C-alpha cells in the first residue's frame, strides 16, 4: 500500500496552512532594490523582497517607479520568483495604474501584491477583485496572492473578515502607522522595543492579527524593528514575535536585519530531529497514535511537528535525509 504523507492525512482534505519565507524585506529605491535582490541570490529564497511603489515612488513619478519595479520582476535579478510588490493604497489615485502596469509589463507576475492602509473590508475586496480581473484579462495563468497591511482602526476591527477574504495569503501589522493613528494617546516608545511588546493597545492589535491569520490558515507578518545597528535587538524582537505572539514572518527594512530574522524564526536542530523521529514513527503506524520516549502522540501533535519541518524548509535549515518519505509519495508493501 502507498505510504501517506503528513500533508495528505493531517488536514482532513483541506490545504495545509500557508508557509512563506520568514522575512519580508522592503526596498524602495532602484539602488536598494538591486542590492536586496543580489543578497537574495546569495542567501537563497529564505527571504522575500518587496519592491515598494507606495513609499518608494516620488510624487508625480508613480508610473515611472512602477515601470522600474515591473522591469525587475522575472529578470535575471529575480532568480527564485520570490519578489513581491507593494502598490499604493485604496485612497490613492494611482493604485489601479500600479497594478495594471506591473502585471502587464513584468516578465513574471509578482509573488504577491501588498495592499497598504486597508480601512474597510470592501476596499480590500475591491482591490483584490481588480487585481484578479486584470490578471485574467492579461492571460496570467495563476492568481496573484495578496497581502494586507493592517495599520488602521478600521482594519483592526474587521481583521477576521480580512483574513477570510479569498486571495489573501498574509496580514501584516503596520506598527508605526497604527501608533500614530492614536493621535498621541500611545507614546512613541511603543514604536520600538520593548514598548512595542508591552503597551496594551499594541499587544492587543498584534494578538488580534495573529489569531485571525491562524483561524483562516493565513500568515501573520510582524512589523519592522527600527534597530539597524544592534542585531541582537532585532533577533530578540523576532523571537518575541514568534514565541509570544504567534507570528511566522517579519518585515526587514535593512539588509543587516535579514539573517537575524531568519535565524530567529528557524527551528533548532534538536527540534528538527525530534519532529523527524515522531513523524516517521507516525507514518510507519499509518498515522495512528504512537509513543516517542515517554510521551504519547496523535494527529494533533503530528500537525505541530509537521509545521516544524515545513518551517525548517522555509528558513533554509537542513532536514535529515531520513525525512524524505514525509515530503514525497512512496509505495511500500504491507
Sign of CA dihedral 54, 142, 37, 18: positive
pLDDT of residue 16: 80
Cell digits for 301?
A: 501533535
Residue 330 has pLDDT above 60, yes or no: no
Predicted confidence band of residue 17 (pLDDT cuts 50, 70, 90): confident
Are the CB atoms for 111 and 84 separated by under 8 Å? Answer: yes
Tell me, what DSSP letter sits at residue 135?
H
Predicted confidence band of residue 329 (pLDDT cuts 50, 70, 90): low
Residue 331 has pLDDT above 60, yes or no: no
Are the CB atoms for 99 and 134 separated by under 8 Å? Answer: yes
Considering only CA atoms, which of 95, 33, 93, 41 is closest in space to residue 69?
33
Are the CB atoms for 315 and 46 separated by under 8 Å? Answer: yes
User: What residues form the annotated binding site for Mg(2+)?
Assistant: 151, 177
pLDDT tens column, 164-195: 999 999 999 999 999 999 999 999 999 999 99
Considering only CA atoms, which of 197, 112, 236, 214 is closest in space to residue 160?
214
Instruction: Return the exposure string of 141-178: e unless at least 16 CB atoms fall within 10 Å of the residue's CB, then b.
Output: eeebbbbbbbbbeebbebbebbbebebbbbbbbbbbbb
pLDDT tens column, 36-60: 999 999 999 999 999 999 999 999 9
Percent above pLDDT 90 for the chain: 91
Cell digits for 115?
A: 495592499
**Which of these ranges, 32-41, 127-136, 323-332, has the smallest mean pLDDT?**
323-332
User: What residues form the annotated binding site?
Assistant: 86, 151, 177
DSSP string of 170-183?
A: EEEE-HHHHHHTTT
Mean pLDDT of 89-113: 97
pLDDT of residue 334: 36
Mean pLDDT, the chain, whole residue set: 94
User: Of all helices (H) and strands (E), which one includes residue 63?
Assistant: helix 62-72
Q: Does the predicted model carry a pTM greater than 0.85?
A: yes
Mean pLDDT of 293-316: 94
Mean pLDDT of 210-231: 96
257: phi then psi, degrees, rounded to nearest 5: -75, -20
The C-alpha atoms of residue 154 and residue 161 are separated, in whole angstroms, by 11
For the beta carbon of residue 276, count every other beta carbon within 10 angstroms. Answer: 20
User: What residues form the annotated binding site for substrate?
Assistant: 86, 151
Considering only CA atoms, which of 246, 244, 185, 198 is closest in space to residue 218?
246
Rg, C-alpha atoms of the chain = 21
Predicted confidence band of residue 333 (pLDDT cuts 50, 70, 90): very low
DSSP string of 98-165?
A: HHHHHHHH-SS--S-EEE-S---HHHHHHHHHHHHHHHHHTT-SS---EEEEE-SHHHHHTHHHHHHS
150: phi then psi, degrees, rounded to nearest 5: -95, 105
Of residues 5 and 76, more confidently modeled: 76
pLDDT of residue 1: 62
282: phi then psi, degrees, rounded to nearest 5: -65, -40
Residue 6 has pLDDT above 60, yes or no: yes
pLDDT of residue 303: 95
Which domains does the chain show, CATH number per domain? 6-12+268-326 (no CATH), 23-265 (3.20.20.60)
Amino acid at each position: 500500500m502507498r505510504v501517506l504523507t503528513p500533508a495528505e492525512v493531517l488536514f482532513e482534505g483541506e490545504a495545509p496552512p500557508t508557509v512563506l519565507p520568514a522575512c519580508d524585506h522592503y526596498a524602495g529605491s532602484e539602488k536598494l532594490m538591486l542590492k536586496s535582490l543580489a543578497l537574495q541570490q546569495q542567501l537563497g529564497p529564505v527571504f522575500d523582497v518587496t519592491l515598494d511603489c507606495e513609499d518608494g515612488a516620488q510624487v508625480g513619478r508613480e508610473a515611472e517607479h512602477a515601470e522600474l519595479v515591473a522591469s525587475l520582476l522575472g529578470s535575471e535579478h529575480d532568480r527564485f520568483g520570490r519578489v513581491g510588490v507593494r502598490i499604493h493604497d485604496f485612497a490613492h489615485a494611482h493604485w489601479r495604474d500600479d497594478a495594471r502596469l506591473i502585471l502587464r509589463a513584468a516578465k513574471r507576475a509578482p509573488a504577491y501584491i501588498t495592499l497598504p492602509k486597508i480601512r474597510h473590508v470592501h476596499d480590500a475586496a475591491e482591490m483584490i477583485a481588480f487585481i484578479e480581473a486584470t490578471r485574467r484579462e492579461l492571460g496570467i495563468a495563476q492568481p496573484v496572492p495578496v497581502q494586507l497591511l493592517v495599520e488602521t482602526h478600521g482594519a483592526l476591527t474587521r481583521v477576521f473578515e480580512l483574513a477570510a477574504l479569498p486571495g489573501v495569503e498574509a496580514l501584516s501589522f503596520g506598527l508605526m502607522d497604527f501608533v500614530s493613528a492614536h493621535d498621541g494617546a500611545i507614546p512613541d516608545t511603543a514604536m520600538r522595543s520593548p514598548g512595542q511588546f508591552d503597551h496594551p493597545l499594541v499587544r492587543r492589535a498584534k494578538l488580534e492579527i495573529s489569531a485571525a491569520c491562524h483561524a483562516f490558515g493565513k500568515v501573520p507578518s510582524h512589523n519592522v524593528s527600527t534597530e539597524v545597528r544592534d542585531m541582537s535587538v532585532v533577533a530578540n524582537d523576532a523571537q518575541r514575535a514568534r514565541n509570544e505572539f504567534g507570528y511566522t514572518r517579519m518585515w526587514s527594512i535593512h539588509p543587516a536585519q535579514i539573517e537575524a530574522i531568519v535565524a530567529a524564526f528557524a527551528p533548532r536542530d534538536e527540534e528538527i530531529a525530534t519532529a523527524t523521529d515522531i513523524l516517521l514513527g507516525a507514518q510507519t503506524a499509518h498515522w495512528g497514535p504512537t509513543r516517542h520516549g515517554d510521551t504519547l502522540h496523535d494527529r494533533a501533535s503530528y500537525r505541530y511537528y509537521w509545521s516544524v519541518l515545513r518551517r525548517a524548509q522555509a528558513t533554509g535549515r537542513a532536514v535529515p535525509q531520513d525525512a524524505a518519505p514525509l515530503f514525497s509519495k512512496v509505495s511500500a508493501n504491507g
